[in-house]
Amino acid sequence: MEKYDLTIIIPTFNERDNIENIVESVSGVMHDAGIITEVLVVDDNSDDGTIEKVREMQEKYSNLELIVRYDDHGLSQSVTEGFYKAKADIIQVIDADFSHPPKMIPEFYTSVAQDGNDVVIGSRYLKGGDIENWPLKRRLISLGATFFGRILFPEITDPVSGFFAIKRDVIKNAVMKPRGYKILMEVLGKGHWYQAKEIPFVFKDREEGDSKLKLSTIIDYILQCIDIAVYSFKHHETNVWQEWKKIFKFAAVGISGIFVNVGLLYFLTEYFGIFYLISSLIAIETSIITNFILNDLWTFKGNESRFSKKWHRFVSFQFVSVMGVLINMGILWALTEFAGLYYVISNLFGIGAAFAWNFLVNRNITWKKI
Ligand SMILES: Nc1nc2c(ncn2[C@@H]2O[C@H](COP(=O)(O)OP(=O)(O)O)[C@@H](O)[C@H]2O)c(=O)[nH]1
Ligand SMILES: [Mg+2]
C-alpha cells in the first residue's frame, strides 16, 4: 500500500466547471511542496458530468481517488465518509469552487505535521482574513452562525470554516452525527483534540456553478450546537466540557459570594451596630473581592501572577460586576413595569442575564488568554 503524507478531501456536488481546475491546482501545489498527497473526491452522485471528469483524470493522476455516494446526501456526511476512507494520517478539507486558496495547504500541513497542532483552521474572521464579494445576507447568516459556535469554542474565531486540516486521530473514535454544512463544528465538538491553530485567509465566492447554501441550514446548525453542548455535558472528555467546567465554577463562586454578602451584612449590622445600608455596601464590595480571588485562583487559573496584571484583572472584574448589577436591576425594572411580570420573577430573568454578561465578559476580557 502506498504511503501518503496527506489526504486532501474535496467534497463535490455538481462541480463540472471546477473539478478539473481544482484537482490540477491542488496537485501542482502539493507537488511543488514535495508533500506526497492523496486527492480524494467525495461526490454525491452529481449528474452534471463531474464524476466522468474525475474518472477521466484518474488516467493521468494515480493519486486521485473517487467516492461516489448514493445515499444520505449531504456535505458533512460526504466529508465524514472521506475521513474514514482517507489513507494518510493527516487530512485536509477544501471546497471545489476555489473559495479556499489551494496554495495555503502546505502551510496547514506543516502546522499539523511539525508544529503539533491537532486541528488547523482557515479563518475568515481572524485579523487578515476576509470574505470577498459576499452579499450582506450571506455575511449576516455566516456571522450569526459563528456566534453560537463561538460560545461553544471561545478560542476559535471561525468554527464553521470549510477549510481545515486535522490529524486523523482526532476523529478516530469520535461519535459524529454529521449533517448540514458545518462538519468542522462536529469535529471540534465530538473529536479528541488539544491544540488548535487558526490561519487567516480570504474567502472568495465561487465564480462557477451555484452555491447550495439555504436559509434552513441555520436551523440545522442551531440543532447541531445544542447537540454538541448536550453531548459534551454527558461525555466529559471533549473540549467543550472544559467550558462547561468554567461555567459551573463561576456559578459556584457566585453562590459563595452570596454567603459572604449576606453573612457580612448581618455581622456588621448586628455586632458592630453599623447602619445596614453601609454594612451592605461593605458586604457587596467584600463579596466582589472574594469572588475575584476565587475566580482568579480557581475558575480561570493559570494567569500571570505579577501584581500589576492581577490589579488590571481586578479593575476589569469590578467594572463588569457593577455593570452586571445594573443589568440585573434594569431587567428587573423593565419586565416588572412594562411586561407586568411579578417582580420576583423579573428578578430571575435579571439574574440570568447578569450571569451571562458576567461570565462571557470576564471569560473573554478579564481573563482573556493571550
Ligand atoms: N458531496 C457533497 N458535496 C457538496 C454538497 N453540497 C456542497 N458540496 C460541495 O461543498 C463545497 C462547498 O459548497 P458550496 O455550495 O460552494 O458552499 P458555500 O461556499 O458555503 O456556498 C463545494 O465543493 C461543493 O461542491 C453535498 O451535498 N454533497
Ligand atoms: Mg462555495
- CATH code where residue 187 lies: 3.90.550.10
Q: Which of 207, 237, 267 is the last residue of a domain?
A: 237
- Same domain (yes/no): 111, 222: yes
Kindly provide the b/e burial profile for residues 71-94, where b requires at least 16 CB atoms within 10 angstroms of the residue's own CB: eeebbbbbbbbbbeebbbbbbbbb
Task: Quote the pLDDT of residue 207.
Answer: 66
Task: Quote the pLDDT of residue 147.
Answer: 82
Task: Quote the pLDDT of residue 58.
Answer: 97
Cα–ligand 2 centroid distance for 272 (angstroms): 70
- Same domain (yes/no): 51, 179: yes
- Same domain (yes/no): 121, 150: yes
Minimal-distance CA residue to ligand 1 atom 14: 211
The C-alpha atoms of residue 361 and residue 316 are separated, in whole angstroms, by 9
- Same domain (yes/no): 312, 171: no
Residue 1 falls inside a structural domain: no
Atom of ligand 1 nearest to the CA of 203: 19
* Domain count for the chain: 2
Cα–ligand 2 centroid distance for 123 (angstroms): 15
Task: Quote the pLDDT of residue 213.
Answer: 58
Ligand 1 in reach of 43 Cβ (< 6 A): yes
pLDDT over threshold 90, residue 214 = no
The C-alpha atoms of residue 197 and residue 174 are separated, in whole angstroms, by 20
Q: Which of 237, 258, 287 is the last residue of a domain?
A: 237
Residue 92 — φ and ψ, nearest 5°? -115, 140
Residue 339 falls inside a structural domain: yes
- Same domain (yes/no): 227, 257: no
- Same domain (yes/no): 47, 186: yes
Closest ligand to C-alpha of residue 50 is 1
Task: Quote the pLDDT of residue 221.
Answer: 83
- Same domain (yes/no): 309, 218: no
- Same domain (yes/no): 108, 205: yes
- Same domain (yes/no): 85, 32: yes
- Same domain (yes/no): 288, 208: no
- Same domain (yes/no): 198, 66: yes
pLDDT over threshold 60, residue 210 = no
pLDDT over threshold 90, residue 110 = yes
Mean pLDDT for the stretch of residues 252-278: 96
Q: pLDDT band at 71, cuts 50/70/90?
A: very high
* Segments forming the whole domain that contains residue 63: 6-237
Share of the chain above pLDDT 90, in %: 81
pLDDT over threshold 70, residue 333 = yes
The C-alpha atoms of residue 153 and residue 186 are separated, in whole angstroms, by 12
What is the best residue among 8, 9, 12, 65 to mutate for testing ligand 1's pocket, by most ligand atoms within 8 Å of CB? Answer: 12
Q: Which of 217, 237, 257 is the last residue of a domain?
A: 237
Residue 30 falls inside a structural domain: yes
| pLDDT tens string 281-320 | 999 999 999 999 999 999 999 888 899 999 999 999 999 9
Task: Quote the pLDDT of residue 1.
Answer: 54
Share of the chain above pLDDT 70, in %: 97
Task: Quote the pLDDT of residue 212.
Answer: 56
